[in-house]
Amino acid sequence: MSTHDAAEGGKAAAAISTTQLIALSITSALGGTLMAAGGESIADAARYATLGIALLVLPGVFTARIVTRQ
């Protein structure tokens, strides 16, 4: 979809940027929390962060597949 109205295009561009900023902030906070849950072990911290983010993304992948299926 696109628009011929420059004002609407600017609003859409700002909304996308804001949405990405919020998503990045939430994911960074979650990643830091998961890293801290790993304690002193670097391997455990990396494991928690990787698996936690993967589990967070998994429902979105399934939802996107369902929505885009034709």
**Tens place of pLDDT per residue across the chain (70 aa):** 566 777 777 777 778 888 899 989 998 999 999 999 999 999 999 999 999 989 989 999 999 999 998 7
**C-alpha distances out from residue 15 to 18, 30, 53, 69, Å:** 5, 23, 24, 26
Tell if the pTM clears 0.85, that is, is over it.
no
| pLDDT of the residue at 33 | 93
**Confidence (pLDDT) at 17:** 86
Task: Identify whether the C-beta of residue 31 lies closer than 8 Å to the C-beta of residue 52.
Answer: yes
pLDDT of residue 3: 66
